[in-house]
Amino acid sequence: MSTTEFKFLRDLPSRHLLGTGTPMCGGCGGLETLHQIYDLIGAKSVIVNAAGCMTLLAVYPFTPFRGSWLYTAMASAPAGAQGVRDALDILKKKGEISPDEDLEVLVLTGDGSAYGMGLSATSAAMDRDLDFLYLCYDNEGYGNTGQQYSAATPHGARTATSKGSHGYPGYKKDLFAIWTAHKPSYVATVVGAEPLDLARKVEKARSLQGPRLIISLAPCPTGWDYEPAETVAIGKLAVQTGIWPLREYVDGKVVHTKIPHPRLPVEEYLVRQGRFHHLFTPEKNEKLLAEIQARVDRYWQEAESEP
């Protein structure tokens, strides 16, 4: 990246502000989170966007971001972030841009990339201690191509590629644990329905250097089959039932930032989504519901027993 190219990207006016005139689905939980995070990060940033739902935000050569935007293949966003970060650091070292002109590098991916296709490149970036912030909007499936199951799909959910009477037979991968095993600077889970918790964690992440991950549950009306107006309620229920623990990893420790008490039964979250409709009709699948509840109970029992 030359100084001229950098200044062109920095000064390029945006056709729209974020979310204005964009062809996203109504009630998108991922966009809800991205709105909040971009309000904090602002224009002095480069969004390295892997192929996925948020690709639809941009119509070449314009994007809804006031800063810069780079599109990559689904598996390549961390590698793209490496190139951008290296270029910015070289320009600063040469004195061709000042520290005030530096840009924040944000990787933006869905769960298909973060949990699967891009995991190798992400692991390599963490091994190199790349200074980047990674936002995963987790809608628990390949939402942009019809909600096929992904490594983030929860047990029992029905998707375009798991239509059996018991839904998806696998279990959601623990991306939080995979990242913390690399000993990064910071990892946190958030949801757009809890904006104060989200804002605090983003500001904490921005105060640090090195690899930093924000995983946001992204309720998806089209993929999860519920009315768009229910997105905030669904997000809150994910926290209140304990299915989506709000937690952070920093200084080698995991801390829960909101412990649901009393914790609601998981059924209150599941029953409001069409992807779990088969667990309740034509008759209630007591065995599978009990299994889902037991896994959540076990998680919180272990979390509460930790010093």
Q: What angle do CA 285, 287, 293 make, to 5 degrees?
A: 100
Domain count, the chain: 1
- How far is the C-alpha of 31 from the C-alpha of 17, rounded, in Å? 13
- How far is the C-alpha of 258 from the C-alpha of 11, rounded, in Å? 40
For residue 137, the cross-strand partners are 110, 216
Its pTM stands at: 0.91
Instruction: Extract the tokens encoding 101.
Output: 């002109």
- Residue 71 has phi, psi (to 5 degrees) of -100, 135
Residue 73 exposed, middle or buried by CB count within 10 Å (0-12, 13-18, 19+): middle
Banded model confidence at residue 20, pLDDT cuts 50, 70, 90: very low
Mean pLDDT on 191-212? 97
**Who wins on pLDDT, 169 or 13?**
169
CB 24 within 8 A of CB 51: no
Mean pLDDT on 24-29? 90
Over residues 247-282, the pLDDT tens digits come to 999 999 999 999 999 999 999 999 999 999 999 999
Domain that residue 128 falls in: 3-305
Residue 184 exposed, middle or buried by CB count within 10 Å (0-12, 13-18, 19+): buried
Give 89's contacts (C-beta < 8 A, 6+ positions apart). none
For the domain that residue 63 is a member of, what is the CATH number?
3.40.50.970
Mean pLDDT on 210-230? 97
pLDDT at position 304: 87
pLDDT at position 23: 65
Banded model confidence at residue 15, pLDDT cuts 50, 70, 90: very low
* Residue 25 predicted with pLDDT over 80: yes
| Percent of the chain at pLDDT exceeding 70 | 92
Mean pLDDT on 72-83? 96
pLDDT at position 258: 96
* Residue 74 predicted with pLDDT over 90: yes
pLDDT at position 66: 87
Banded model confidence at residue 108, pLDDT cuts 50, 70, 90: very high
Phi-psi domain of 129 (left: phi exceeds 0; alpha: psi -120 through 50; beta: other): left
* Residue 298 predicted with pLDDT over 50: yes
Neighbours of 176 (CB within 10 A): 18
Over residues 149-191, the pLDDT tens digits come to 999 999 999 999 999 989 999 999 999 999 999 999 999 999 9
Mean pLDDT on 238-252? 97
Mean pLDDT on 207-225? 97
CB 37 within 8 A of CB 135: yes
Give 173's contacts (C-beta < 8 A, 6+ positions apart). 115, 151, 152
